[in-house]
A and B are shown apart, each in its own frame.
Chain A
Amino acid sequence: NAGVMQNPRHLVRRRGQEARLRCSPMKGHSHVYWYRQLPEEGLKFMVYLQKENIIDESGMPKERFSAEFPKEGPSILRIQQVVRGDSAAYFCASSPLQARTDEKLFFGSGTQLSVL
């Protein structure tokens, strides 16, 4: 049973370009979370999605950032017109269909975004 798969592992973009980060949750998981980890900081919640629905995007910047989790295919975190401050590690996590209070998250290995 493959774990949470994120790609690319490393992504380099120049200022103003678009970044697309992909996340395939574990088989059978329909809940996806995106977190951002800035240097020397903890993980900050960005968005919580279920298939075809955004449940909570309160941690997402209002501009330039968007996320989706289509019926088929991976979840995508999209950052338009990247700036140097977007440089960070972006982690995706998934949990099973029936999320409960004691349900753990399964994390991917992350995508390290570097903006030049």
Chain B
Amino acid sequence: GNSVTQMEGPVTLSEEAFLTINCTYTATGYPSLFWYVQYPGEGLQLLLKATKADDKGSNKGFEATYRKETTSFHLEKGSVQVSDSAVYFCALYTSGTYKYIFGTGTRLKVLA
């Protein structure tokens, strides 16, 4: 079945450091890929998405490229801020399955 695997956290970085959170997936068909972010005490919010191979999603300085050959959708940011501290979820959706499949989440903590 479809699945998403994320790197385990927590990830602790200093402010302005470079961030990479790895995400790989297994899916039949051609899924759409998403990164969601969950701030403390809140629900998930869409951060970015990509719907086909080689698409790059970007938002708020975060980027992720849909790599079909490596079945990956790694999240990157060049310079993190304290306000980026949150849990980040990689997810996929394939039409006909009705389900969004989420990874286990990666907690990011950014220190001033």
Contacts and interface: CB of A to CB of B under 8 A. Distances in A.
Interface residues of A, number: 26
Interface in B91-112: 93-95, 98-105
A105 B49 contact: no
Interface string A24-56: 000000000101000001111100100000011
Given A42-B103, A109-B43, A104 B94 contact: no
A45 B42 contact: no
A69 interface: no
A6 B49 CA distance: 25
Given A4-B43, A91-B43, A110-B43, A101 B99 contact: no
A100 interface: yes
B105 A42 contact: yes
B46 interface: yes
Interface in B41-66: 41-46, 49, 51
A26 to B, nearest CB: 12
A42 B95 contact: no
Given A56-B99, A107-B45, A42 B104 contact: yes
B51 A109 contact: no
Contacts of B43: 4, 6, 91, 93, 107-110
Contact of A41 (B31, B36, B46, B104): B104
Contacts of A108: 43
28 contacts: A4-B43, A42-B89, A42-B104, A42-B105, A43-B44, A45-B99, A45-B100, A45-B101, A48-B98, A48-B99, A56-B99, A59-B99, A91-B43, A91-B44, A93-B44, A93-B100, A100-B95, A101-B31, A101-B32, A101-B93, A101-B95, A105-B46, A105-B100, A107-B36, A107-B43, A107-B45, A109-B43, A110-B43
Interface of A: 4, 6, 33, 35, 41-45, 48, 55-56, 59, 91, 93, 99-105, 107-110
